Amino acid sequence: MAKPIQAIRGMNDCLPEQTPAWQQAEAVLRQLMSSYGYSEIRMPVMEVTGLFKRAIGEVTDVVEKEMYTFDDRNGDSLTLRPEGTAGCVRAGIEHGLLYNQERRMWYLGPMFRYERPQKGRYRQFHQFGVEVFGLNGPDIDAELIMLTARLWKVLGVAEHLTLQLNSLGQPEERAQYRQALVAFLQQHEDRLDDDSRRRMHSNPLRVLDSKDAGVQALLADAPVLSDYFGADTQAHFERLKSLLTAAGIRFELNPRLVRGLDYYNLTVFEWITDSLGAQGTVCGGGRYDGLVEQLGGQATPAVGFAMGMERLVLLLDTLGLVEPQPALAEVYVAAMGEGATVAGFALAERLRDQLPALRVMSHCGGGNFKKQLKRADKSGAAIALILGEEEIARGEVTVKYLRGQGEQRTLAQDELIEQLKQEGI
Ligand code: ATP
Ligand code: MG
């Protein structure tokens, strides 16, 4: 036998047993977005490589080592999208959605990053993302956070998530701080790990994000970004905090929160859980007022976040919050004998015409009475509708209750619908 081919490492199948959890989360998300007046946008999963280099920044983990990049048959460099913001901004500029307008949009789809696969970290994963253009906040920043807080509440995971909040200030403020930080790091270079030493020059703020305990200890004495904030930045952050407090949303200030991508300014936030082990960030986002212009559009303020669907679904699973699924069928149509298949399909279609919400499964594959009833039982249906030659000839059907709710009986097919309705099926 030929050796079977397997899926690409880190790219998962979502099997029929797993899709209900996803559908549950997705349904809540769609409903939530509609309740806030946001519209869905769908972008391609591939873009030209230059888009991500320009948007995310050359010296970020994502661009340096996580992108799936290849040349297509024309020799153009393409990349499977590692995140949705860049493509969303690209689409917004390309279709004139952003200039002088307010847009509140969301998307849901696969993203690709070449990372080491582990629980909560995959090479194809899915993000739910929200991007808002044309509003400079902080009210809209607060709305995005409120919307995520509502999502946790609706899904029943609120008590397992905490909100971390920070402000990254404006680029000028960050540039001044950057100088002070680099000077500090240079003084203590011997205490830095390799990654931090490398980042000290290329992307020093990312050193704040270091996982190295020694570096984290050192950073306790490092200069603090907020000391470099001007009045406007301070006011934005203060107003955001007061809006969140007024909405009853608790947050932790985390001055080390810088986020992995380059394009953020002012507000940044993450929702973290300790129920998932190491991969604890479920959702992260912030303001990126410079990005639209950086990608060739008219300067447009913007704010957004992205949520990892796998981590959310894992959380629902771990906490036992996935709703139990109803049986695949409520009614199973069994048809015995020559010519019965046609009559069986006709009855099943008639049921679906009249009772569109009813779950009807038609027996396929022939077989005797016993076999068909065994399948009916396996389908989980409460009722088997049996069509033998006699029933067909008389326009009747035999109703057999599979879960002991009643006596078997034969009635006219025309009465069946009324009967099913009466039984609350
Ligand atoms: P992390 O610190 O976990 O690597 P990140 O900062 O790279 O996350 P973002 O780029 O902010 O993540 O993406 C937003 C969200 O997408 C994350 O909070 C996480 O829930 C999810 N996510 C990111 N990378 C992966 C991945 N490889 N597999 C599954 N989910 C992911
Ligand atoms: Mg990452």
State the Cα–Cα distance between residues 419 and 402, nearest whole angstrom. 16
The two structure tokens encoding residue 184: 């500090």
**How crowded is residue 343: how many other Cβ atoms within 10 Å of its Cβ?**
21
pLDDT in tens, 344-367: 999 999 999 999 999 999 999 989
Instruction: Give the atom of ligand 1 at the shortest distance from the alpha carbon of 120.
Output: 29
C-beta 311 within 6 A of ligand 1:
yes
| Percent of the chain residues topping a pLDDT of 90 | 80
Output the CA 320–ligand 1 centroid distance in Å.
23
- Whether residue 401 has pLDDT greater than 80: yes
pLDDT tens digits along 132-184? 999 998 999 999 999 999 999 999 999 999 999 999 999 999 999 999 999 99
125 beta partners: 111
338 a known binding residue? Answer: no
The domain over range 331-420 is classified in CATH as 3.40.50.300: no
Alpha helices in 321-368 (DSSP H): 340-354
Q: Is 292 in the pocket of ligand 1 (CB under 6 A)?
A: no
**pLDDT of 404 above 90:** no
Q: How far separated are the first and last CA of the chain, in Å rounded?
A: 48
Provide the pLDDT for residue 58: 85
Q: Is the pLDDT of residue 221 over 80?
A: yes
Query: In 154-301, where do the E strands start and end?
Result: 162-167, 252-253, 265-272, 281-287
Q: How far is the CA of 374 from the centre of ligand 2 (A)?
A: 49
Percent of the chain with pLDDT over 70: 100
pTM of this structure: 0.92
What is the mean pLDDT of the segment spanning 275-281? 89
**Cα 244 to averaged position of ligand 2 atoms, centre (Å):** 27
| pLDDT on residue 206 | 84
Q: Where in the chain is the domain with CATH 3.30.930.10?
A: 19-169+229-318
Every domain of the chain with CATH number 3.40.50.800 lies at: 331-420
125 lines ligand 1 (CB under 6 A): yes
Ligand nearest to C-alpha 127: 1
CA 275 to chain centre: 18
Bridge partners (DSSP) listed for residue 164: 252, 270
Nearest CA residue ID for atom 28, ligand 1: 121
Structure confidence at residue 10 (pLDDT): 97
Binned at pLDDT 50, 70 and 90, residue 339 comes out as confident
Q: What is the pLDDT of residue 422?
A: 83
Q: Which ligand is nearest to the CA of 281?
A: 1
Contacts of 379 (CB under 8 A, 6+ apart): 327, 328, 329, 332, 361
Q: Which residue has the tokens 């779950």?
A: 359
Give the bridge partners for 410, in sequence order. Answer: 398
In terms of Cβ atoms closer than 10 Å to its own Cβ (0-12, 13-18, 19+), residue 191 is: middle
CATH number, span 19-169+229-318: 3.30.930.10
Which run of H or of E encompasses 39?
Answer: strand 39-40
Q: Inform me whether the pLDDT recorded for 260 exceeds 80.
A: no
Running DSSP on this structure, what letter comes out for residue 64?
A: I
pLDDT at 273 over 90: yes
Closest CA to 228 of 179, 186, 164, 267: 179
Residue 262 has pLDDT above 80, yes or no: no
Q: Is the pLDDT of residue 311 over 80?
A: yes
Higher pLDDT, 200 or 66: 66
Flag whether pLDDT at 309 surpasses 80: yes
Among 157, 180, 178, CA closest to 168: 178
Residue 167 Cα to ligand 2 midpoint, Å, equals: 20
pLDDT band at residue 325 under the 50/70/90 scheme: very high
Average pLDDT across the chain, whole number: 94
For residues 372-403, one letter each, b for 16 or more C-beta atoms within 10 angstroms of the residue's C-beta and e for the rest, the string is bbebbeebbbbbbbbbbeebbeeebbbbbebe
Pocket flag, ligand 1, residue 206 (CB < 6 Å): no
